[in-house]
Structure 1
């Protein structure tokens, strides 16, 4: 796969489900298209990947957190196109709280236990984005405004987003 995405094969994609509930085996080819495709190919792949790991822009799945380090790797690479779209996707992932909100709303009822797994996906995904803060800060210092502006926006989102509610 080249120097980018070298550790992609270390993830057991076949054992994971994406945000739609489908098998996550389609994620590695999408990441490769982002890494090595032209701008149009990358843009389509980011859109498709967003549907898989952050459905509807606010629902993450089991495969989201394992995908985030690769998104950060791509966003930090000097030769990858569509960094703004990658950073927007990372921002959507960071802000997801659908499962936490649902669990909080059903707290003290018998259904709240059913959200435990999904809230874990949200927590793991947000933690993965936080782990890449230095990459995002690096992009934010770019002299290219089309890269720096969305990176600064993501940093602001990270600083302004409230912690998940106590469950």
Structure 2
């Protein structure tokens, strides 16, 4: 029997993960659930708050690692507007992975940074599929994410 989204989110100890801007990672589960809300305003508010918690101004913390699979899972079932918001968050994750791959800010692709980069590359086909969307914003997010991940994949392949 498949567990619900809430059950799977509840199995994660969100206190174990930090946020780059000091937000409480325990905010993430209810925000993820609200992304798929039939109330468009509630879903949009949740997406915008989630952006703050996990990728505020491209600052990414370790809470991005357990959040990413749920974002990928939700992408097909949410509205185009929420898909765009989710891809914006994922773009920030990809930019962070690229900064690490480029060794900017004394970061490197180790620990959770590498886990995030590896998961992004694993989910690349899902992200690339939005390059064929009917919505121009989704296409642009897909292209921008792909450009970042091309560099990250090359660095990982080269032993970065």
TM-score if structure 1 supplies the norm length?
A: 0.72
Q: Which has the larger radius of gyration?
A: 1
Whether the 8 Å CA contact 2:91–2:141 is kept in 1: the answer is: no
**RMSD, matched Cα:** 3.2
Between Structure 1 and Structure 2, the one with more helix by share is 2
CA gap 1:151/1:6 in 2 versus in 1, 3 angstroms: farther
Q: What is the alpha-carbon distance in structure 2 between the residues aligned to residue 5 and residue 149 of structure 1?
A: 31
Q: What's the secondary structure of 2:36's corresponding residue? A: helix
Alignment correspondent of 2:124: 133
What are structure 1's unaligned runs of at least 5 residues? 105-115
What are structure 2's unaligned runs of at least 5 residues? none
**Candidates 140, 145, 155, aligned match of 2:146:** 155
Displacement of 1:48 = 1.3
Q: What is the alpha-carbon distance in structure 2 between the residues aligned to residue 163 and residue 5 of structure 1?
A: 36
Whether the 8 Å CA contact 2:60–2:92 is kept in 1: the answer is: no
Displacement of 1:22 = 4.3
Size of the alignment, in residue pairs?
A: 153
**Which residues of 2 match residues 72-151 of structure 1 at below 5 A?**
72-77=72-77, 79=79, 81-96=81-96, 97=99, 100-103=103-106, 120-151=111-142
Tell which has more relative contact order, 1 or 2 (C-alpha 8 A, sep 6+): 1
Residues 1:17 and 2:8 aligned together:
no
TM-score if structure 2 supplies the norm length?
A: 0.74
Whether the 8 Å CA contact 2:20–2:54 is kept in 1: the answer is: yes
